[in-house]
Amino acid sequence: MNEEKPGMKTLIAEASLALFEQRGFTETSVQDICNELGVTKGTFYYYFDSKETLLMDIHEQYIVTLLEEQKGILEDDNLTYREKVRAVIYMLIRDIEKRGARGRVFFREMRHLNDGRKAKIVPLRNQFRLNIEQLVRAGVEAGAFRSEINPKLAAFALLGIANWSYQWFHPDGELSDREVADAFATILLEGIEPDPRDR
């Protein structure tokens, strides 16, 4: 239907994203973005109200898409609690390849949004976390996870493990996204120690 060839607006957004990731938001000037595409600032401001509007677009796209994907996993009645945990971790690790730049910019540059815009993004980011917390809570109540587990802290642990990967994981390395996600899920679910009764 659409998806024919990228318009100038898309080109600007993509070039900006790459530059923001490499150099950072403040360190990338509007002129830099324009040079990258061989256009002038007039063009930029024809498509975007401000540099910050562009940053907001990047943030919104990232978190909204992530929430949608997460919803698909959490509402899938065919999955057990442990499978849902595995699926969420895999989704986050796999996304590093698919939209790693967007993710890194999201975590790093959010503070450059003004208060009004941050007030729109932060609740969405929190919702993502609260959904995981709710998954763990339901799992604990159902007996799938241990009763002494604090769902809030477990959610932070999951997010910490997965999101920290944005800092080091490159899909072209020695390990595939699937291997990394599987190993992380196993650590979170089963821990690194052997069963106490085997020791």
Q: Which residues contact 40 (CB under 8 A, 6 or more apart)?
A: 34
Residue 74 binds DNA, judged by CB under 7 A: no
Would you give the DSSP letter of residue 194? Answer: P
Choose the contact partner of 123 out of DNA, a copy of itself, none; CB within 5 to 8 A by kind: none
Residue 88 binds a copy of itself, judged by CB under 8 A: no
Contact of 92 with 188, CB cutoff 8 Å: no
Residue 38 binds DNA, judged by CB under 7 A: yes
Going along the chain, which residue ranges are E strands?
none
d(C-alpha 73, C-alpha 146), whole Å: 22
| One residue of 36, 52, 57, 182 binding DNA per CB under 7 A | 52
d(C-alpha 43, C-alpha 30), whole Å: 11
Cα dihedral 59, 117, 21, 132, rounded to 10, equals -50
Secondary structure (DSSP) of 13-52:
HHHHHHHHHHH-TTTS-HHHHHHHHT--HHHHHHH-S-HH
Residue 36 binds DNA, judged by CB under 7 A: no
Cα atoms in the 13 Å half-sphere on the side-chain side of 38: 0
| One residue of 6, 10, 45, 80 binding DNA per CB under 7 A | 45
Nearer to DNA, 15 or 88 (CB): 15
Stretch that binds a copy of itself, among 1-9, 23-31, 48-56, 57-65 (CB under 8 A): 23-31
Residue 24 binds DNA, judged by CB under 7 A: no
Distance of CA 51 to the CA centre of its chain: 22
Choose the contact partner of 176 out of DNA, a copy of itself, none; CB within 5 to 8 A by kind: none
| One residue of 8, 64, 119, 175 binding DNA per CB under 7 A | 8
Phi and psi dihedrals of 191, rounded to 5?
Answer: 80, 175
Residue 40 binds DNA, judged by CB under 7 A: yes
Choose the contact partner of 29 out of DNA, a copy of itself, none; CB within 5 to 8 A by kind: DNA
Contact of 19 with 26, CB cutoff 8 Å: no
Contact set with a copy of itself (CB under 8 A): 24, 26-27, 82, 85, 108, 111, 136, 139, 143-146, 148-150, 153-154, 156-157, 159-165, 168, 175, 180, 183-184, 186-197, 199
Contact set with DNA (CB under 7 A): 7-8, 26, 28-32, 38-43, 45-46, 50-52
